[in-house]
Structure 1
């Protein structure tokens, strides 16, 4: 077996633009974030991703599979045993055996090529020769590059370009992918904050810090924590205060009515007026109810104040992290930067010799927010695609009565496709529906009654969610 030092291969070839056969299908997959120490691996869709690789393998024509960054998540893996690396550790996990077998079959097929573009969570692919050797030796990857550019033979004017997208995000920009010590601010959020907090696990009955990395957008983490505590408190108040109080009061009224009937002789007694039979007990219940109402009011105001202060604090820290602005697919610095680039003579961060005006289809990932947009410019329209991710996210659902939002699980499993039809380039964004586990308290269900997003049917087939065709004025 050839050792890495003998392979004579660098991280990837010089940047270039390949010419594709007209029947080629180009598939872009990003942000699966496969791997991690126990309790920190958020990837839950190996069967679905394996099914995608199997389906793509059956395409009648050449296939280019571009793993467009953060396919692995090496930032979530701490210590590595001797003789292993973060890629080999992940590939050998039994729950991923079928996934990597499907990828291996795809890569080994005729007219198939798998290209790996590093992102910010798997930048080690670029500087760690051992990892590249492992991926090649396992038959999973054919080529490594910082970017991807291609044209179809019959449509040479249409340029397809892809890079991960983190270079448009100041908090996650890597200046030198060759330097293991070049770690942007976002890396430290994962390695020094998330990876250290997550092992704390469950705090109390319903707050599991291991779920923190699933909260989307990132700025919602304090709101998620406050909401979990808030609704847990309401549940406890209802269970241990309000319910016993109601049961006790009902029992008291029944007893009071019985006493009133027995002492009234033949005179009719109203059930609703019978409380006067035991006025002292009635007064005690009134005091308890009033005190309980004050307690709930104070706690509600306290949590609303804490939530507001925490949200402002974390917003100032994470304002540049992906997905921070809102849940709208196209918000954030990455999408804005790409859109501006396509109408200028500027160059993509990972391809300094390529003017933005020449790019007709720009594919990226990074933000975990799948989207396909048509961008008007002076000479027609370009298409911008965010290939999304393969993760379960906790997304906020607005609560009624101004309460904290309820964070609900939702699988976001997407990929992008580009192919030639006639002389036109077709782009597609695909979604892979999958119902997500939801464990909500009764108080949370009441707070979002009628607002919970519908779950996809089990076994629902992948579908195209958006299409676009770039154009140039002739």
Structure 2
């Protein structure tokens, strides 16, 4: 590399290409720093990767202890090895002395260990400049110091070629700051690069004051993007907390001002319920003042949360986890053939499993400040800790990667106040985090092991919280109904009547009953996690707690309601699902219109009735008020006794009916049609889905994700195909995409579905996906098997296939032939005749299918399909099969199988399948997927001979008369397929019935007894059909 000497400006400031060079440093004798250096790692060798030591020119207790412990780990390495210092070895940015030599001198143990390591046989030391020591890449003096003092090679990235018993595996190592927009640079070798992160470290953080201020530790944040949250946290806990004592002033004033007012309350001065006047006055004052104090505290809490949220919203970069961008790059590398990616920079240690590969972050070796979640929704608490972590790679029979990690909380003291770094209020509010070892231990390994840190499965917590909340709400609703129809206790009612009139108590009784009904109706919506239902339920619970006290002093019911309300508040984060707003608008309009029409019609009828019978009229306003009250169960406006006897129950029934209608529409899950309108265009989504299926489709069912009635959810290079039936989101097939994205795409889709208030289920799940579903708390149920024929080994020879061989030969002897075509380019005349076969072969007016059929034929956009057409002796098509591509088995999968109802020899469909197998074998293909055999293992007796299994077989055989269950299994068995189990996956046992109904609707199982008629679509009920765009089932009638 040619040395670069910048020109001098008139005032002596160095410039390069017209840009001032920071720190007034002349760049001379630049050390060569290649973009990538390739390192061969032989079998039995090891690699140690460590980063973010941030060694300064002056040693600290933490940096000294870290250096000693790390030097011991380096010394323990034996044999051929590579040591990679993956960025931020030095703190050369936010310092007055950016000199690597001073940092190495201040930490002699580590320096000596690294030098001794590099002198060993088969050893290498590599140093990668990071965001805080990027100076090494462009400052010749700093670069030479690293090369000469440590014996290290410099590079911007390392490509490890690890030789293992399973072959060569490639692992890429980078400092990681290029994935952080705040610290990414265009040219790492240019001193003119000055990203936002540099300005924050050099200008903003030093301006916050010395270490003893309430913002101490900002320069050690493990995640720099958390600085706004850090500021908000310290503002609340260390600044505003000093003024918390002022909150007692309203409490004292309330007692002083309210005590004289108790003389104005009727009955307080009298002896009541065993209490003397003064104790009773104190009870009243204490209760009201406690309420006021609670309101003040709640207000202060809300203000602090709003302040924290406003400040925290001022993000210094993109949202998301610090390692998200690097992890996404790792997925792309793993998909392209790499074993994994290792980065540093974020100081967030991680080892994530990405299917056949991994992503790893080395973490840090030094003091960091990270955040802990707080209680009661308050800002997070930031703590100081000593973090030491690194990665080890071992080349053996396979590639092995280990993450070692240790951390210890630090009891820092402020130099000025000599107080602990975390205040008592911070220790009280901070949630307890996971316990870690203070000495380095292996916390994760690849390929045998789980990802670390473990990803919190919020879906399980949400389901538990929603289930418990729904049970509590329903219980409170039932208690309210029972309490409303139970007479109050005389002693309690007397105390209540001293405070409120009897009419108010009666009205409260009616409102409590209505609130109970509302809570019962809202329980299901709360179970779905809808935010609006949560808010309404919380309001009703608070209202019914007051109503129970007013109607009869029922403090037990009040306590239960407040307990349920407290639980809703504590688990509020679990309720974020949306509702269908168009349905809400329609529902509100319908209810308002119905209520107005009911009031107008009833008032008119009431006036006519009273004028005829009593020869008098009520004022219209009074009559309207009486009718409206009776619609909600209140009767404070009197009506003639005889009229009221008939109107009261009728109007209450109308009111309850309108309320139920409103609740049903207001808390309806999001309708999929509304979401489809949000997509840019359906055509663009379909094009993208086709591309994903083309690139990543492997399963025999993957092509069926392109059905026209399925909606697509995209995440990186993966997609999920689904349909919504009521409140159930039915996914089929399994998500399609790179194996490295499996966990990510499913987690993202679950969050998406949860936000819509849907229950998720999977139909036709493969065994390979079950661990992913189970990891999110889902349950699976065996549904049957899909038969896959190995066309390379299939043969008609032998006694086992005697019947099949005779049927095929007989068909051929009678002059039947077969031809193969691409359906997208089929001759129009032949297409017309094939459609005629479809029409003749239908058993019903509308055909069915969702999970294992494409639902169309002869679409020019469906490229690469295979159509096998069997023609009779006269040349007319009599049967056909359509197959879709299945790259996973290097062949095709059956989509549609049809034959006309003419008089043909037995074995016509056998003939089509056998000739297709022979055709695929000639084309050099491997597999052919056939029909799905429902509950095959049960019918075949493979599940056992116990009473439940025998009962299942009996039921299945009884249903086979109308649903072709056993006949399809026996038809597939003739071709000696390999059986691939398929499963149904559902969220929770209480959703099983809803999921079963959704599956029946999706697959159009209207042959089911009793309930089948309710599953039939409208076009089937009308007797219409569309022969040009059918929705066929992946099944075949038993061969004749």
State the TM-score, normalizing by the size of structure 2. 0.34
Aligned pairs for 1:377-396 (under 5 A) are 381-396=356-371
Counterpart position of 1:26: 47
Residue 152 to residue 300, structure 1, CA distance change in 2 (3 Å): closer
Higher helix share: 2
Q: In the TM superposition, what are the counterparts of 1:321-360 in structure 2 within 5 Å?
A: 325-326=320-321, 331-343=323-335, 357-360=336-339
Q: Give 1:455 deviation, angstroms.
A: 5.2
1:429 paired residue among 403, 415, 424: 403
| In structure 1, C-alpha distance between the alignment counterparts of 2:246 and 2:407, rounded to whole Å | 40
Alignment partner of 2:141 out of 126, 130, 139? 130
Partners in 2 of 1:24 and 1:99 — Cα distance? 22
CA-to-aligned-CA distance 1:75-95 (integer Å, 9 cap, x gap): 1123x4xxxx521232233xx
- Matched with 1:158 is 169
Distance 1:154 1:318 in 2: 40
Residues 362, 383 of structure 1: 8 Å contact kept: yes
Q: Is the Cα contact below 8 Å between 1:57 and 1:109 reproduced in 2?
A: no
2:227 corresponding residue in structure 1: 221
Report Cα offsets for 1:172-222 as digits up to 9, x if no partner: 22211221102222222222222333x44444xxx1x23112334434323
Q: CA deviation at 1:9?
A: 8.2
Do the aligned partners of 2:247 and 2:296 also contact (CA within 8 Å) in 1?
A: no
Distance 1:297 1:359 in 2: 54
Q: In structure 2, how many angstroms separate the alpha carbons of the residues matched to 1:339 and 1:210? A: 37
Retained in 2: the 8 A contact 1:70–1:122? yes
Aligned to 1:306: 307
- Report if the CA contact (8 A) 1:342-1:382 is conserved: yes
Once the two structures are TM-superposed, the CA of residue 66 in structure 1 deviates from its matched residue by 0.3
Q: Does 1:92 align with 2:111?
A: no
3-state SS, counterpart of residue 197 of structure 2: helix
CA distance in 1, matches of 2:391, 2:74: 12
For the pair 1:188 / 2:196, whether they are aligned, the reply is: no
| 2:317 paired residue number | 318
**2:52 is aligned with 1:70:** no
**d(CA) in 2 for partners of 1:16 and 1:136?**
15
Counting only pairs closer than 5 Å after superposition, residues 245-264 of structure 1 correspond to structure 2 as: none
User: CA 1:18 to 1:469, structure 2 compared with 1: closer, same or farther past 3 Å?
Assistant: same
By how many angstroms is 1:307 displaced? Answer: 1.6
* Contact 2:217/2:384 (8 A) holds in 1: no
Distance of 2:80 and 2:242 partners within structure 1: 59
Kindly tell me: are residues 289 and 232 of structure 1, through their superposed partners in 2, closer, same or farther at Cα, counting changes over 3 Å? farther
Q: CA deviation at 1:125?
A: 0.6
- Structure number with the bigger relative contact order (C-alpha 8 A, sep ≥ 6) is 1
Conserved 8 A contact 2:93-2:198: yes
**CA offsets, 1:74-116, max 9 Å, x none?**
11123x4xxxx521232233xx233323333323334332110
Equivalent residue pairs, number: 396
* Contact kept in structure 2, 1:54 and 1:106, CA below 8 Å: no
Q: Name structure 1 gaps, 5 residues minimum.
A: 250-269, 344-356
Structure 1 residue 162, shift from structure 2 partner = 0.8
1:338-393: CA deviation from partner (whole Å, max 9, x where unpaired): 322432xxxxxxxxxxxxx24223211122211112223xxxx1222111112333
The corresponding residue for 2:378 is 403
Q: 1:50 to 1:74 in 2, by over 3 A?
A: same
1:464 aligns with 2:442: yes
1:443 is aligned to 2:417? no
SS of match in other structure, 2:89: coil
Match of 2:159 among 149, 167, 173: 149
Cα distance in 2 for residues equivalent to 1:132 and 1:184? 21
**TM-score (structure 1 length as normaliser):** 0.71
Counterparts of 1:9 and 1:230 in 2: how far apart (Å)? Answer: 48
CA shift in 2, pair 1:42/1:214, >3 Å? farther
Q: 1:101-155: CA deviations, max 9, x gaps?
A: 33333233343321101112111111111112222332x1321111112324555
Equivalent residue of 2:237, what SS?
helix
Which residue of structure 2 lines up, in the alignment, with residue 255 of structure 1? none
Alignment correspondent of 1:366: 345
Query: CA separation of 1:190/1:363 partners in 2, compared to 1, >3 Å: closer, same or farther?
Result: same
* Contact 1:436/1:455 (<8 A) preserved: no
Secondary structure at the aligned position of 1:122 is classed as coil
391 and 48 in structure 1: CA distance in 2 versus 1, 3 angstrom threshold: closer
Q: 1:277-301 deviations in whole A, cap 9, x for unaligned?
A: xx9xx99x99999998777565544
Paired position in structure 2 for 1:253? none
CA RMSD of aligned residues (A): 4.1
Match of 2:175, SS state, is: coil
* Aligned CA distance change for structure 1 residues 51 and 42 (closer, same or farther; 3 Å): closer
C-alpha separation in 2, matches of 1:369 and 1:405: 17
Are residues 111 and 340 of structure 1, via their aligned partners in 2, closer, same or farther at CA, if it must alter by over 3 Å? closer
* Deviations, residues 383-415 of structure 1 (Å, cap 9, x unaligned): 221111123333333322222222233333210
Aligned partner of 2:72 among 51, 54, 75: 54
Distance 2:291 2:234 in 1: 26
Displacement of 1:25 = 1.1
Partner of 1:231: 237
Deviates more, 1:10-19 or 1:158-167: 10-19
Tell me: CA distance 1:305–1:468, structure 2 relative to 1, closer, same or farther (3 Å): same
Aligned to 1:174: 185
Per the alignment, in what secondary structure is the counterpart of residue 217 of structure 2?
helix
Asked if structure 1 preserves the Cα contact closer than 8 Å seen for 2:35 and 2:157, the reply is no
Q: Rg bigger for which structure?
A: 2
Please say if residues 164 and 366 of structure 1, whose CA atoms lie closer than 8 Å, have aligned partners that are also in contact. Answer: yes
SS at match of 1:17: strand
Structure 1 Cα separation of the partners of residues 317 and 182 of structure 2: 9
Q: Which residue of structure 2 aligns with residue 349 of structure 1? A: none
Report if aligned partners of 2:88, 2:133 keep a CA contact under 8 Å in 1.
yes
Contact preservation (8 Å) 1:432, 1:462: yes
Structure 2 residue aligned with 1:259: none
Question: Whole-Å Cα distance in 1 between the matches of residues 309 and 329 of structure 2?
Answer: 30
Given that 1:35 and 1:43 are in contact with CA atoms closer than 8 Å, whether structure 2 keeps it comes out as no
Which residue number corresponds to residue 121 of structure 1? 132
Residue 42 of structure 1: how far off its partner (Å): 8.9
Q: Contact 1:359/1:382 (CA < 8 Å) preserved in 2?
A: yes
Q: Is the 8 A contact 2:42 2:395 kept in 1?
A: no
| 1:20 positional shift | 2.7
TM-superposed deviation, 1:308:
1.7
User: Aligned with 1:120: secondary structure?
Assistant: coil
Give the gaps of 5 or more residues in structure 2.
6-27, 256-274, 412-419, 449-738, 741-887, 889-1040
Distance 1:358 1:50, change over 3 A: farther
User: How many angstroms does 1:15 deviate by?
Assistant: 4.0
